[in-house]
Structure 1
Amino acid sequence: MPGQRKVLVIGATGIIGRQVAAQLLEAGVEVRALTRDPETAGLPHGVEAVLGDLTDPRTLHAPLNGVEAVFLLWPFATAEGMSELLKVVATHTQRIVYLSSAAVRDHEQQVEQSIECSGLEWTFLRPHAFAANALRWAGQIRAEGVVREPYGAAAMPPLHERDLAAVAVAALVGDGHAGAVYDLTGPELLTQAEQVRLIGELIGRPVRWEEISPRVERQRMLLKGWPPPVVDGILDAQAEMVTRPWPITSTVEEATGVPARTFRAWVADHAGDFRR
């Protein structure tokens, strides 16, 4: 039963991890969060912040003591160190839920393979486009009411972070999710330009999309310090979504029993981020 469980959340200080921790608390689960600095983590009330470092798996024994399941957000662009971490996890618990991605990049594939070989009971979450990606437009919208980017016609089914967290919680404390690979999307296909228009509707002021060239956007991202392979990967994916959008899945509802939230609902939850 949920009230008898204790879950360790690795990555609890991010948008997704915070939602996982909060929803576990709502379900009556004891939540422990791994952090390098428990004093400044700023976690939801009721979450036990514990000191630990993923780069040193030896520090995880204490945080894992008494834990029955682990939510893992792996923050590195390499799978180096994963096997050592899993050995420590396996000495304390048998269930792990790993936040991968729909792209299943090389390091994510390697992490998944390591988990599959670990002997743990696992569930993989592969989200597609996050609705929260729209927060990158907040500054432009607040300042000018316009978003300047390429590929306004790129279409995707934006996923609310609450729905991703709800699936994670179901897999962490429920039955029937072992060995599942969940492709997660929102319930509707929207272009980037349509998302911007909806944001304007919800905040009560016109917001428009202004198309710029991919070359200009690439240079802008590079100047911000983004690695070239990451920049090219993002722009190539957006270009592909103009003609080949990601398919919508019903996995959120199948895993939780509740339909996925719309992008409109996400904007309503975050409207303050886009208002002046």
Structure 2
Amino acid sequence: MTLVTVLSASGRPGLAQVRQLIKAGYDVRATTRDPSRLKQFDNIEIIRADYNDPDSIYEACLGADTVFYTRPSFEESHKALDFAATVGSSAKRANVRRLIYNTCCWGPPDELGEVGQAGYDGVKLMINTLMQGGVQTTTFQPVLFMDNLLTDWARKDIKKNDIYTYPHNPNLEASWICLDDVAKFMIAAIDRDDLIGRRINIGGPEVFTPPRVADLLSGHFGRPILYKELGLEDFSNRLYDIFFADTDEDQRGGRSENRQAFIDSMSDFYSFNNISEHRPFKVDMEPVLKEIPIRLTPFSEWISQQDWNEELDTTAG
């Protein structure tokens, strides 16, 4: 069977990729800095790897036909470029055939050029850095994850306070997609030569505003869940407190320990999402599904499948 290496396999995107690869019949090598986070999987190879240690990434790629790479969450831009360069060069040195990249966010189409938001304008630079290694690459750019609702910045309010909080204006339309469906797209690209070099924005099968998401949650839990728009600074502080509790360099990876710089960056990102004419959270999926026909999971179905009491200390991306 074909061996696929999943980098950062213990994060939520990586866990979904491992699940779907196993279902699809692939051999899986999963990398992590903490093997205990992958103990739920049988019959996969688990190895330690760290983007700050290029030799460990090379060893993770060695012998694999394909490598799945997901951009790590909330790292500084210079570190993100370093990590992308490490993955690209390591995959090439290990003779990897295909590299499938998940940007964890929308990417501007070529005709737009720069859009005036640092995070999005850096997407193409990150892709180009990764591809400079020379491995045939396909990039998926998922716009917004259903799985974000399971993270501590959202789930606790839903469960304890009957409030769905997010930094989206109430009229913002978004094509929410679950991480398992992102993984299915990545798997579909493994043997699709026509997708080499492509950058594809993807979302889910439905478009919802935040109050409509609250309605879906209300239906599942059997009680009213109200939507409350979270202020950008409050939201950014929540993220910082979750992801930067331990500021030791080996725990932070490439993430900044500067609270204000982080808050400014996240506030700029979500402010752009709320007002941009480019609508970075909304995707027309009809042409995408004609080209890559997979079944997308409806939001209500995804909500009903989750364990809302699970304490899983990983990010959605």
Whether TM-score is above 0.5 comes out as yes
Distance in 2, Cα, partners of 1:243 & 1:124 = 20
Q: Which amino acid aligns with 1:257?
A: P
Instruction: Tell whether the 8 Å contact from 1:185 to 1:252 is kept in structure 2 after alignment.
Output: no
Shift of 1:117: 2.6
Instruction: Tell whether the 8 Å contact from 2:57 to 2:86 is kept in structure 1 after alignment.
Output: no
Shift of 1:133: 2.3
Shift of 1:161: 1.4
Shift of 1:237: 3.4
2:44 pairs with 1:29 = no
Unpaired stretches in structure 2, ≥5 consecutive residues: 109-119, 241-258, 311-317
Shift of 1:68: 0.5
Distance 1:240 1:161, change over 3 A: same
Instruction: Tell whether the 8 Å contact from 1:157 to 1:188 is kept in structure 2 after alignment.
Output: yes
Out of 85, 93, 98, the position equivalent to 1:95 is 98
The TM-score normalised by the length of structure 2 is 0.75
Deviates further, 123-132 or 255-264: 255-264
2:186 pairs with 1:182 = no
Aligned length in residues: 268
Q: Of the two structures, which has the highest relative contact order with CA contacts closer than 8 Å and spacing of 6 or more?
A: 2
Instruction: Tell whether the 8 Å contact from 1:186 to 1:260 is kept in structure 2 after alignment.
Output: yes
Aligned to 1:139: 156
Distance 1:137 1:264, change over 3 A: same
**Which runs of structure 2 are paired with 1:1-276 in the superposition (5 Å)?**
4-75=1-72, 76-77=75-76, 78-92=80-94, 93-100=96-103, 101-103=105-107, 105-135=120-150, 136-148=153-165, 151-211=169-229, 214=231, 217-219=232-234, 221-222=236-237, 225=240, 227-240=262-275, 244=279, 246-250=282-286, 253-254=289-290, 256-270=292-306, 272-273=308-309
Shift of 1:102: 0.6
- Which consecutive aligned stretches of 4+ in structure 1 deviate over 4 angstroms post-superposition? 241-245
Question: Helix, strand or coil for the counterpart of 2:39?
Answer: coil
Q: Which amino acid aligns with 2:295?
A: P
Q: CA RMSD in A?
A: 2.7
Instruction: Tell whether the 8 Å contact from 1:218 to 1:232 is kept in structure 2 after alignment.
Output: yes
Question: Helix, strand or coil for the counterpart of 2:308?
Answer: helix
Q: Which amino acid aligns with 2:106?
A: A
Unpaired stretches in structure 1, ≥5 consecutive residues: none
Shift of 1:207: 1.2
Residue deviations 1:92-123 (CA, integer Å, cap 9, x gap): 21210011121463443222012333221100
Instruction: Tell whether the 8 Å contact from 1:69 to 1:95 is kept in structure 2 after alignment.
Output: yes
Q: Which amino acid aligns with 1:36?
A: R
Distance 1:195 1:89, change over 3 A: same
Distance 1:164 1:203, change over 3 A: same
Distance in 2, Cα, partners of 1:210 & 1:82 = 36
Instruction: Tell whether the 8 Å contact from 1:156 to 1:241 is kept in structure 2 after alignment.
Output: no
Shift of 1:222: 2.9
Question: Helix, strand or coil for the counterpart of 2:28?
Answer: strand
Instruction: Tell whether the 8 Å contact from 2:61 to 2:91 is kept in structure 1 after alignment.
Output: yes
